[in-house]
Structure 1
Amino acid sequence: MNPPLADPHEFVGDCQSLVELLRRRAEHSPDQLAYQFLIDGQHEGARLTYGELHRAAQAIAARLNESAKRGSRALLLYPQGIDFLVAFFGCLQAGMIPVPLPPPDAARMMRALPRLKSVIADSQAALVLTTGELFATLHQHFDAELASLLWLSTDGPPSDAESSACAFVDSVVRGSPGPALTDDIAFLQYTSGSTSTPKGVMVSHGNVLNQCRLLKAAASYSANSVIAGWMPYHHDYGLIEGLLQPLFVGVPCYFMSPLAFIKRPIRWLEAISRYRVTHSQAPNFAYDLCVQKITPEQRATLDLSSLQVAANAAEPVRAETQRAFYDAFKVCGLRESALAPAYGLAEATLMVSHTRLELPSAATDQISNPVSCGRVLDELQVEIVNAETMRRCATGEVGEVWVAGPCVTKGYWNRPEETERTFHARLADSDAGPFLRTGDLGFLRDGQLFIAGRLKDLIIIRGDNHYPQDIELTVERSHPALRSGHGAAFSVDVSGEEVLVVVQEVQGKQLRDANVDEVLSAIRTAVYNEQDLSLHAVVLLKPGGALKTTSGKIQRRAMKAAFLNGELDVLG
């Protein structure tokens, strides 16, 4: 195996595309390990060197060039694993635009198909790449819309059913597309739909390469880094920092499926311990899960001393989580300085701000309340703006977070009006811009970014602003029978007045030791004492009843709609 180059960035700094990046890696280090998939999060499964990935992607591109034209959108439906990577880079090499999506779960097919069809319609997809097994499952649910697409299983030769349903022709390449350019769309990143209908964010090759370059500096990646994770490929966090950042830096990546982590959270930390991982990332709930599910006896088997960056993003970062995770795993050699909250969104490719390791006060800031999401990435500009007047807020004042810079994407696919409204904002006092309006509330203090919540989720009761995250945190702390991160607070109109409603999922085991009235009383008392608010209604949901996005974010709007329509899976 070839050792990593002393400075891998030296020969990738002027790459124009992800295609060129992979080609250069394959030319310079063909036998170096690129990706190792961990079956069940533990055993080593399929692996790829840079050379193997490049050749496998070329083979997929050869099939695609015969099947669709350059610029066609190709949905990628794969379980977590090596097959996705080959298909993703195969699409890029063929000049097509991959659209990573979560693979439909057979047990929830009727719920998954409407979203799949909405993305097909929105992206105007021409073909779907998947595995033979998943194709066989989906084929049972084909209607005219799904059957009209070209379906290609990339983990083996086309089956008879595939060939018949999709009129697939497997033949040689007739020609290669021209080279991808920096401004070309690399892929469509469909938003999770936590607050609205999913939209396809147009992410260019330049956006990704700039993001990787800036993230390399912010998170102190080096030629000696080792990366491991479990975030799904269809989420921007899992795709860009989890899978593409290792390629950019030129270091090995060990990854597992999200399900493997959820079933046994220790698998993630075992991988960090076993492979001497330096960088990993996950949303806030994952750190909570590790604290809750990993026993003291299991902790004694872990060595987390190699971990330099444990990034926390993709959902609100809680100081209590940061503190609990450090307290639980410091006996494993975890450094407090490794805790690295960050903030980002798909519309800015991924990260906008990230905790810098070189700052001596960083560790303290990450376990205090509110939590700092670090400093804004180099070359990005962040302004805190009054969403109504479009003027800059005073220092320390909460306002909407606006972003400009090379990581801000092109906009939403086929949605010019929404693109104009979201990506081309200008300051009223100076006409500076254009800026991306994130829809997130935050403030800057001592050069660091703090996030307060979502602009559209803001609850206004009798003229006072309340952030739902604060209320939800109060609720889940009020009684041990309540499940962390599985509640929603929102307001509804009753006779012309906005009133507060809380919907909260319970944990079955703890609830057996408490009666429902006791839990309801605890919630009302806590919200009144801590938030000075009275609750109009409190609804307890059965385990699994909370509505969340595919990336684990609570769907407040969907929960509110279900409450108003009487569609919640209510306890009792």
Structure 2
Amino acid sequence: MNAEYHFSNLVDVLSYRAQNQFDQTAYTFLKSGETEAEKFTYGELHLRSQAIAASLQSLNTAGERALLLYQPGLDFIAAFFGCLYAGVIAVPAYPPRQNQNLSRLQAIAQDAQPKVILTSTSLLDKLQNSSKQESLEISGLHWLATDTLSNDLAQAWQPQETYSDTLAFLQYTSGSTGNPKGVMVSHGNLLHNSVTIHKLFGHTPNSRGMIWLPPYHDMGLIGGILQPLYGGVPVVLMASVDFLQKPIRWLQAISRYKATTSGGPNFAYDLCVRKVTPEQLENLDLSSWEVAFTGAEPVRAETLEEFAATFALCGFRKEAFYPCYGMAETTLIISGGEKTALPVIYNIDGVALEQNRIVKAKKSGTDTRTIVGCGQVPPDYQTIIVNPESLTICTPEQVGEIWVASPSVARGYWNQTEETQKAFSAYLADSHQGPFLRTGDLGFLQNGELFITGRIKDVIIIRGQNHYPQDIELTVEKSHPALRIGCGAAFAVDFKGSERLVIVQEVERSYLRKLNVQEVVGSIRQAVVAQHGLEIFATVLVKTGSIPKTSSGKIRRQACRSAFLSGSLDVVEDWSENPQNKAKFIHLQSEVDSVLKQLTTTKQL
């Protein structure tokens, strides 16, 4: 099957694979990121999916939602396809860790209103007990452990009428700027995005995948599980925690299985540079790696350079880097580059950028911002850059909001008509052209290349100038070795009628006991003044691993801001230019935020 083959739904895709490649291995899962623990051929997955679907059909669940709670492994994949085979809308979610607050899970369940919860035998009792102890509504739902179901049930499966516009699953957004919302993704959305990725990545029957990204997130699910199925590309999977504990496991798996496609956010490449030892390099062969995709957070040119230099001796080629851009609201991918081309890197004037202007810098300097392009927009996508206030198209020299129209754009947010209208039905003010999806991301287009500069909600505006938090965060983490890379948040708070800068930054575990707070804070303040001309209102140093992040590794800046205001950060030490003013401000701001939240809740009711 090639990328031009037309299907109307994902059930047809898996059925096709099972019919034509029954015994070919589709998925391999590595226990502890190293040992083969499970495998699915296309035929086995087809039968498992039918058996699970038959069980769901016996519960009269067609058109209902099923909450999927699984530990890393292949049971999740079978359950996901079991839902599709049964005409049930899948709702993937992170299974809560031990002693973890279940508030996010409860919020998703309240929004999605599932009729059944699918899980594994090993999790069933724990989850049921936890939900009862916390008096969660999900405790009263029907629970089904799918790993003990017999494949004999497949004989009872009844095929469903499934069309291109049939809803396949709800992808709950990562919540980097607010509460998670359920993006309604149809079979047509998934197939169009799969065709797009297949073409952009240049996948062939000889391609091989290696994925550690969580399957509960769009990049891990659509890029790591559904795309390989669509292209008939075998993929090796491992748990994200196993990669995070020992990054070398990712590279060893690529080397061992001769993977051609693999990737992750910027922090993953940076982690490998910092954690992989010279001795470990000697046994790696990365020459098979053709597409090293990177997305989900700002792609840093410095990281690309360091990774390419570090692993060149292992056969890694810089041309393999594949910066790309996407989001849950567009199913996954929006833009990507040429498979064999080097990443496009621009040096732009930082002062001009603060005024939403793009001016190429002749040479690098303190006022220069280096930005990596996220590739070209596919021909059947329409992507425009729009002034978010006037709703008119920007010139190529202006930064604006990225708007997208494409068959990959999802159907909206589940049960949120007002939010759907606001985000998915945007029209230009002058030409009334539309509808477009408003991504909420800022960027610009030059020579067909799409560049991302930040999120609208995260931009810090001080004295009328725009400051991008990721630039400030990079400055902060480089200012002192005690600070964890990729684990800081910069945001603004209003104090006496003006916006003031706050820094929340994790400390490396090895520095916690011997931390010289004055030295660290002094280094941060000095670096931020020198690089950005900004005074810091407050700096909060927090414990290792405590800063709020999304499932794809993005910093949840708005969650950090809320935690700062409520005093709920896991603080090691904090500093402010005027402690009394800060304490008074936090008290007043918390009261204001509480009132606003009550008003918002009342409005929604």
TM bin (shorter chain): over 0.9
Aligned to 1:98: 90
Cα deviation, residue 510, structure 1: 4.2
Q: Map 1:187-206 onto structure 2 (within 5 A).
A: 187-206=169-188
- The letter of the residue matching 2:378 is L
Aligned to 2:361: none
Cα deviation, residue 475, structure 1: 0.6
Q: Map 1:74-153 onto structure 2 (within 5 A).
A: 74-108=66-100, 111=101, 113-141=102-130, 142=132, 143=135, 145-153=137-145
Aligned to 1:270: 252
- Aligned equivalents of 1:480 and 1:419: distance in 2? 44
Cα deviation, residue 172, structure 1: 8.9
Q: Provide, for residues 256-275 of structure 1, a one-character-per-residue CA deviation record: whole Å limited to 9, x for no partner.
A: 00111111111110010011
- The letter of the residue matching 1:195 is T
- Aligned equivalents of 1:218 and 1:232: distance in 2? 22
Aligned to 1:515: 516
Aligned to 1:297: 279
Asked if the contact 1:132/1:156 (under 8 Å) is kept, the reply is yes
Asked if the contact 2:460/2:492 (under 8 Å) is kept, the reply is yes
Asked if the contact 1:65/1:173 (under 8 Å) is kept, the reply is no
Aligned to 1:43: 35
Asked if the contact 2:48/2:154 (under 8 Å) is kept, the reply is no
Aligned to 1:570: 571
Cα deviation, residue 358, structure 1: 4.2
- Aligned equivalents of 1:61 and 1:318: distance in 2? 44
Q: Provide, for residues 494-538 of structure 1, a one-character-per-residue CA deviation record: whole Å limited to 9, x for no partner.
A: 111111111111113246666111110100000000001111111
Asked if the contact 1:70/1:177 (under 8 Å) is kept, the reply is no
Q: Pick the aligned partner of 2:50 from 45, 52, 58.
A: 58
Taking every aligned residue pair, what percent have the same amino acid on both sides? 51
Asked if the contact 2:345/2:373 (under 8 Å) is kept, the reply is no
- Aligned equivalents of 1:24 and 1:174: distance in 2? 20
- Aligned equivalents of 2:340 and 2:437: distance in 1? 29
Q: Pick the aligned partner of 1:362 from 340, 343, 346.
A: 343
Matched, 1:15 2:37: no
Q: Map 1:163-562 onto structure 2 (within 5 A).
A: 176-359=158-341, 361-362=342-343, 369-510=370-511, 515-562=516-563
- The letter of the residue matching 1:464 is Q
Q: 1:470 to 1:365 in 2, by over 3 A?
A: closer
- Aligned equivalents of 2:233 and 2:174: distance in 1? 29
Q: Provide, for residues 173-203 of structure 1, a one-character-per-residue CA deviation record: whole Å limited to 9, x for no partner.
A: 8772532100111110000111111100000
Q: Provide, for residues 294-332 of structure 1, a one-character-per-residue CA deviation record: whole Å limited to 9, x for no partner.
A: 001101110000000100011121111111111111111
- Aligned equivalents of 1:542 and 1:239: distance in 2? 31
Asked if the contact 1:66/1:174 (under 8 Å) is kept, the reply is no
- Aligned equivalents of 1:342 and 1:101: distance in 2? 25
Asked if the contact 2:51/2:149 (under 8 Å) is kept, the reply is no
Q: Provide, for residues 86-120 of structure 1, a one-character-per-residue CA deviation record: whole Å limited to 9, x for no partner.
A: 11111100010111111111132xx1x11111111
TM-score by length of 2: 0.88
Q: 1:484 to 1:144 in 2, by over 3 A?
A: closer
- The letter of the residue matching 1:459 is I
Q: 1:172 to 1:552 in 2, by over 3 A?
A: closer
TM-score by length of 1: 0.93
Q: Map 1:19-38 onto structure 2 (within 5 A).
A: 19-38=11-30
Cα deviation, residue 550, structure 1: 2.8
Of stretches 461-470 and 143-152 in structure 1, the one that deviates more from structure 2 is 143-152
Q: Secondary structure at the match of 1:197?
A: coil
- Aligned equivalents of 1:502 and 1:347: distance in 2? 30
Aligned to 2:578: none
Cα deviation, residue 376, structure 1: 1.2
Can you give the 5+ residue segments of structure 2 that lack an aligned partner in the other structure? Answer: 348-363, 574-605
Of stretches 561-570 and 468-477 in structure 1, the one that deviates more from structure 2 is 561-570
Q: Provide, for residues 48-104 of structure 1, a one-character-per-residue CA deviation record: whole Å limited to 9, x for no partner.
A: 111111011111111110013211100110111110111111110001011111111
Asked if the contact 1:33/1:50 (under 8 Å) is kept, the reply is yes
- Aligned equivalents of 1:365 and 1:219: distance in 2? 23
- Aligned equivalents of 1:447 and 1:529: distance in 2? 34
Q: Secondary structure at the match of 1:391?
A: coil
Can you give the 5+ residue segments of structure 1 that lack an aligned partner in the other structure? Answer: 1-7, 159-169
Aligned to 2:589: none
- Aligned equivalents of 2:563 and 2:457: distance in 1? 18
Cα deviation, residue 549, structure 1: 2.1
- The letter of the residue matching 1:462 is R
Asked if the contact 1:520/1:538 (under 8 Å) is kept, the reply is yes
Of stretches 257-266 and 315-324 in structure 1, the one that deviates more from structure 2 is 315-324
- The letter of the residue matching 1:117 is Q
- Aligned equivalents of 1:385 and 1:466: distance in 2? 19
- The letter of the residue matching 1:334 is F
Asked if the contact 1:401/1:438 (under 8 Å) is kept, the reply is yes
Aligned to 2:587: none
Aligned to 2:356: none
- The letter of the residue matching 2:8 is Q
- Aligned equivalents of 2:155 and 2:141: distance in 1? 21
- The letter of the residue matching 2:233 is V
- Aligned equivalents of 2:236 and 2:155: distance in 1? 33
Q: 1:292 to 1:358 in 2, by over 3 A?
A: closer
Q: Provide, for residues 466-491 of structure 1, a one-character-per-residue CA deviation record: whole Å limited to 9, x for no partner.
A: 11111111111111111111111111
- Aligned equivalents of 1:286 and 1:315: distance in 2? 11
- The letter of the residue matching 2:234 is P
- Aligned equivalents of 2:308 and 2:483: distance in 1? 23
Count the aligned residue pairs: 549
Of stretches 318-327 and 49-58 in structure 1, the one that deviates more from structure 2 is 318-327
Q: Secondary structure at the match of 1:27?
A: helix
